[in-house]
Every structure is written in C-alpha cells, then in structure tokens.
Amino acid sequence: MGHGWEGVVLKLMRGKDFEFTVTGAEEVSEHFRRVHFTDGGMLALTGVHPTMWVRIWFDNAGKPHQRAYTLVDPDPAAGTFSLEFALHEGCASDWARKAQPGDTVEATLQGTGFSAPDPLPSRLFVIGDPASLPAINSLLDALPKVPATIWFETTHASDEDLPLRLDSAHHEVHRVPRREAGGHLVEQVKSALPGLLGDPSGAYVWIACDTTTTRTLTAYARKDLALPKDRVNALGYWRAA
C-alpha cells in the first residue's frame, strides 16, 4: 500500500518504514483491544524510550490513513511489543477488531521522542483518557518513585476498569466521566490542581486528551499557573467530532 503525500512528507523528514506482524490479540474490554506484534527489526535499530510511538498505516476505502500509537511493553531483545486500541468507529478500530496472527501492518517511525525531566519533578500531574492510556502507563513506569496525581477521563462504564499501572504508595487517580465535550474534565482539573501544585518549578504536568481539552489545559498550566514551559508536556491525541 502506498502512503500518499503524508508518506512522502514523512520520508523527507527521515521517517523509517517497517512492517509489523500480528502474533495475537486480547479483549481488554468491549471498547479496548490489545494487539501483539513482532517488530520487523525496528527496536534493535532504534532502541526504546518512554512513551515511544509509531505511525500505523491503514486502508481507508482505498486511501492511506495513518494514526499514532504508543508501544506497550516493547522488548528489543525479543523484537516484540503490543499496541492498545480504544475502539470506536473508523478504519483503525475496524482493523484492530479483526486482527489475527499472521496479519501484517505497515508503520513509520518519525516524530517520537521523550526525555525525562531533569531534575526529576517532586510531583507529577497526568491528564489523559483511554486513547493515551499506553503513554500514561509508560510514563508512570519511567518515573516510578515520583508521586503522581492522575485525572483519567472515561467515556464507557468499562473504561473504569482499564489497567492503569498504579502504585498505591505513589499514585492517586481520579476517574472523570466525559461530559460537556471535555469541559467537565477541565473543570475538575482547574478546581483541584492549584491546591496540589506547590512550587511550580518542582511540578511536571503531562496532558494527552482530545485536542481542544489539551489546548485549554496547556494554556491554563502555562499562563494561569505559571509553570515553566519545560515542565508542561502536552499533545492532543484525537479530535472530538
């Protein structure tokens, strides 16, 4: 499958192409599926870092369509990893629902990158949802001893049970039902965060929700709470319809 103009742009930006092969899949919930892969040699070439992601290519009525997914439990020695799909309407979810051993999918590695804050923060604040769950877990794994408060937005009842990798000694999670197109989450974070923040220079805020919510909370953290730019990491993971 050709990758169209997006593929050309990624090539110009030194994107590297790989082919992944499905080895299995599991239903985490009715709206969330984990698919296991061999990596086509990628991890041995690139190494691994926290929140590492790849662009996966899907066929959308004959046209190439790419979406970014965070690697789950990448193992460079074995050349394996998993991807997790928050299921909804669309060609990526359709593919994930049907994925079975032996299926292959094309991928491009370009744009990924994350460095742990230096010095390490005294407090971590994480705001996300099922689409960013793999990245949240990767971040918590990378900073295991940093106390963290997590706001996790849920859409379905089954989202309440999605596997956040929590350490009861260091992590506190608030599950927030999605209402008002993300407005309820914004309200909850704005209500609680100032009282928890302490010294802004010692905090680290990581935001990965729908694009509008992410922009709103990023502006709030930087302007209203005066967090230094390098202490806020934000990326809009999806666009609300």
SS in 3 state form for the chain?
A: CCCHHHHHHHHHCCCEEEEEEEEEEEEEECCEEEEEEECCCHHHHHCCCCCCEEEEEEEECCEEEEEEEECEEEECCCCEEEEEEECCCCHHHHHHHHCCCCCEEEEEECCCCCCCCCCCCCEEEEEECHHHHHHHHHHHHHCCCCCEEEEEEECCHHHHHCCCCCCCCCEEEEEEECCHHHHHHHHHHHHHHHHHHCCHHHEEEEEECEHHHHHHHHHHHHHHCCCCHHHEEECCCECCC
Query: What pLDDT band is residue 2 in, cutting at 50, 70 and 90?
Result: low
Range list for CATH 2.40.30.10 in the chain:
4-109
Query: In the CATH hierarchy, which fold is given to the domain comprising 123-234?
Result: Rossmann fold (3.40.50)
**Under CATH, which architecture does the 4-109 domain have?**
Beta Barrel (2.40)
pLDDT digits (tens, 9 = 90+) for 181-220: 999 999 999 999 999 998 888 999 999 999 999 999 999 9
pLDDT digits (tens, 9 = 90+) for 34-81: 999 999 999 999 999 999 999 999 999 999 999 999 999 999 999 999
Range list for CATH 3.40.50.80 in the chain:
123-234
pLDDT digits (tens, 9 = 90+) for 153-177: 999 999 999 999 999 899 999 999 9
- The pLDDT value recorded for residue 52 is 93
pTM of structure: 0.90
